[in-house]
Structure 1
């Protein structure tokens, strides 16, 4: 696997930027649909390798090196991870609560600034978490393993790319047929179950995400849907706590979600924060407190960190009218929580971005009660920084293993978030031109938006503004969340598969039951395939699932653009 020293080449950067620009809308689409996104490193790795290796053979050009592959995947993944900058959570939540909607250029600047901050946090954490403590960083190790396989067996990349492309074309074709030619059937067993959102959702994207999340999360979604939409929703209607209009037909998602989101959000927030705290304590005791320290600043990185902090503070003041002291206070909180997220991701591979955001909301809710802008956008600083920090640390893990230059990866990451900010904002505004009427609906459930909005409303308006039955439901959800979060935080990774996923249980309260059913079905199909053909599943299941997700989401973006132009 010895390669020439070519690393930060024009072709590596341009390939990563193009792939990042193509893949970023996919994460925006899926984030608004189901609240989850997909790490794009492996897709970018396969596409870049297959294209340039074949071109090198045809034109007798220099081969595509291992280090160029690393720059390519670093650039593309940083662009696609711009989703953590707030486009599918606090930014639309602010619009839903206040009506305040940023113009295109200010929104691009904001998303870039919080991501830029996270890059420099990762730079200073790299010696501690990558070089010294040797944390595993599972996502980075998965990318590294794929890279080693395709460079050892070049034909493997072509096979995986063919599967990825075929799945993407299939999903895109199905989406185009459903949206432009005729609607695919949305079958429900009965009119009553259809009103409760138990109907067939013909979406290959959902099947693909089911294959990615695995059987544990898929079955947890199924259980959560049965509890929320199969048991609680009929009880709400029977008791008159939610009144359905006479003669109502079709899924009544918008009506029922106004009640169900509160226990669901409480369950998710409390379970995730409980598990996050316990995981952090375990990781800290294993690695030692000294390893969490950030290193003494060198001049250029210190300037980068200082510039990022100043930019975030100024934008909070000018765009959202936040007091300078509150804006400045968001910086140390963001640094601290990004460090926590980095340690948790390094140990478990689970990015706790939602929990980091809600923890920030709780902090600012206590410091500045009743101020929605501070609660959402100052907390957005921590979530955005943590998301980009953990993405770069996964890339640093790959780079450290192959002897890459960290400063060159930082350049690639900065260019990636620049393109991601431009493309991500345009994709968001194209898909959701009117957030107040389009979001938290059957078409766009936007569970992350619902979560941030609910927490902000509870912290700013006070629990007194919420009806007593919902307050009891929130308490029950919180207690269930803590009870589920304790074993999740304490159990070793090998035993987690026997526990229900608290995040998935809570999420099932916030999305239609039809989405949970399809994702659970996708997870079951992937599990059955793996049980029968283990080696093939290891090579092709995730690639196939990624193709289905990318194909349908990119087709959905194209359809939205077509409808806008016509």
Structure 2
């Protein structure tokens, strides 16, 4: 009988930690998995934590080789941790702005960053987040009220595959089978013949009610759960089945003459406003309540509020600040003093995000971004670059800070070396910045014509763009109907956010998910429908075979997401080369 007790940190296994093979494995997996999150972020506004995929693949490769060769050293627990740290840091690079503020900046200003400046910018904001996490680490990890659920899920998987190696092999088979199936469907749809987008009628097709042949969407549905899935379906019915026909009947939205097929682009220009206001108000209300609860319920008696600076971390922190501030001035023409103002805001909001993730497991990156936009809207009204890219600093730093805090939580449990995890994270964000920027430019060579369309809804871009427009031009620049929609959506979001924050967890789970409800206004109904279908199918299987679902549902869903997204990125590159 194996135990799930972490190994002794003083054992010999810890000697092989930041090994060359661990770093190379994490780098290769980061290169493969980062485009998946860029693809998914532009499709549906969500990304997937790649830690568990990296753990399974790294373990499968190296332990398999060790069993077959007497000269091959075993793949240690600590090497697995470094591998997943590099890969997950690379894949989480989209929090640096690739699927939200950077495209929104292009849409509002007409200026597209070239590849090298884009890599430098995304790296700089993520690099700042790493150093904030380093200084937050002592206080947050010693706070017993902060459990870091996502980090603990990674730890549980890590210990499970080492204690039950045969289970890792089974999960790997499920992962690769699902990825192969999903990739094959996407390849057929792209290169052989377009799979049918069936709709019950031409009227419903016009309102985007079609069956989208996407296993990626069903995979995300399997991950998000039944509550979020059904809320997406409810939101699609309200927005695209209720509001959209009314808008057309009242003449509030005019369709292009002779138009046929789904009319997503024309309708979403109106529908995104109530959806965005609902999402922003609900997340800010819920975040405020959670922070108040954390303030009254958590203590940091065992750790310092801020670690005493040591020489080499101070150099790294100073370098990160200098990089972010100078790039704001060079790339976006932002005043140096205004750029410097982003640093204390980024530190405060990254600390907020890290505490929320520690308590709930939910990274409030969207809310942090909108809080930053509101702050700079007050400090520098009417200035789009400041509103988007200075706010991007706080959002990107918060994203990488929370990712590294989860890694630190795993590392503390298994006796890993913190500064080696820090190095792994830095390598990861460098790889992710390069690959993520290249993937974004390959997928979206022309943001003005490609984004906010049925193919690329990019809901996070729509949110950042809408908030920036409102803060820049004011509500008076919008039509009366849109202003009323913003007020009603905001009030609904405020109510749901307050209820979600105040009700006990067992009651709050029966509420509609405010984030999903607002998101359904920005996504085509076909996307919400397929994600809801994935959630319902997974729930039905879990009712009949709960143990099977617990073991393989997330792994299968991850395979479906990775297979389609990697094939989609590859198809875009192939078509770009062919057109070139």
Spell out, residue by residue over 1:483-518, the C-alpha distance to the aligned partner (whole angstroms, 9 max, x if none).
000011223434332111000000000010000000
Measured in 2, the distance between the counterparts of 1:302 and 1:531 equals 52
Q: CA deviation at 1:293?
A: 2.6
Unaligned segments of structure 2, at least 5 residues: 1-5
Q: Is the 8 A contact 1:210 1:520 kept in 2?
A: yes
Aligned counterpart, 2:189: 178
Q: Which residue of 2 aligns with 1:53?
A: 63
- Deviation of 1:124 (Å): 1.0
Is 1:75 the counterpart of 2:86 in the alignment? yes
- Alignment-derived partner of residue 538 in structure 2: 526
* Aligned ranges 1:100-119 → 2 under 5 Å: 100-119=111-130
The aligned counterpart of 1:413 is: 425
Moved more, 493-502 or 538-547: 493-502
Match of 1:439 among 440, 451, 457: 451
Which of the residues 21, 46, 57 maps onto 1:36? Answer: 46
* Matching residue of 1:91: 102
Deviation, structure 1 residue 294: 2.0
Q: Which moved more, 1:508-517 or 1:275-284?
A: 275-284
* Aligned counterpart in structure 2 of residue 229 of structure 1, from 240, 244, 252: 240
How far apart are the structure 2 equivalents of 1:360 and 1:158?
44
Quote the Cα distance in structure 2 between the aligned partners of 1:150 and 1:465: 57
In the other structure, the counterpart of 1:334 is: 346
Deviations 1:522-548 (A, max 9, x none): 000110111111111001000000000
**Distance of 1:346 and 1:495 partners within structure 2:** 22
- In the aligned structure 2, how far is the partner of 1:404 from the partner of 1:131? 16
Contact map agreement 1:292 1:339 (CA 8 A) in 2: no
The alpha-carbon deviation at position 284 of structure 1 amounts to 1.9
Contact 1:207–1:523 (CA under 8 A) maintained in structure 2: yes
Cα distance change of structure 1 residues 455 and 78 upon mapping to structure 2, 3 Å threshold:
same
Q: Give distance in 1, aligned partners of 2:519 and 2:115.
A: 30
Which of 9, 15, 20 aligns to 1:10? It is: 20
Question: In structure 1, the residue corresponding to 2:521 is in which secondary structure?
Answer: coil
Query: Which of 125, 143, 151 matches 2:162?
Result: 151
2:220 corresponding residue in structure 1: 209
Show CA shifts across 1:1-21 (max 9, x none).
646121111111111111011
| Equivalent pair of 2:140/2:300 in contact (CA under 8 Å) | no
Q: Which residue of 2 aligns with 1:24?
A: 34
Name the structure 2 match of 1:478. 490
2:478 is aligned with 1:466? yes
Report deviation, 1:87: 0.3
- Given that 1:358 and 1:452 are in contact with CA atoms closer than 8 Å, whether structure 2 keeps it comes out as yes
- Following TM superposition, by how much is the alpha carbon of 1:245 offset from its aligned partner in structure 2, in angstroms? 3.5
The Cα of 1:246 is off from its aligned counterpart by 4.3
Instruction: Mark the CA change 1:458 to 1:513 in structure 2 (over 3 Å): closer, same or farther.
Output: same
Report the RMSD for the aligned CA atoms in angstroms. 1.1
Change (3 A) 1:292 1:102: farther
SS at match of 2:352: helix
Contact 1:24–1:79 (8 Å) recurs in 2? yes
Aligned length: 566
Distance 1:490 1:164 in 2: 38
TM-score (norm 2): 0.96
Contact in 2 for aligned 1:365/1:375 (Cα 8 Å): yes
Contact 1:177 1:183 in 2 (8 A): yes
The residue matched to 1:508 in structure 2 has which SS?
A: helix
CA contact (8 A) 2:51 2:154 kept: yes
Residues in 1 aligned to 2:464 and 2:185: alpha-carbon distance in whole angstroms: 32
Query: Is the Cα–Cα contact under 8 Å of residues 348 and 493 in structure 1 kept in the other structure?
Result: no
Residue in structure 2 matching 1:253, options 254, 264, 273: 264
Q: CA deviation at 1:65?
A: 0.6
Whole-Å separation in 1 of the counterparts to 2:376 and 2:118? 22
Q: CA deviation at 1:187?
A: 0.5
Deviation at 1:132, TM superposition (A): 3.5
Q: Following the alignment from structure 1 to structure 2, what is the Cα–Cα distance between the partners of residues 289 and 230? A: 50
Partners of 2:145 and 2:299 within 8 A in 1 = no
Say which of 229, 236, 246 aligns to 1:218. 229
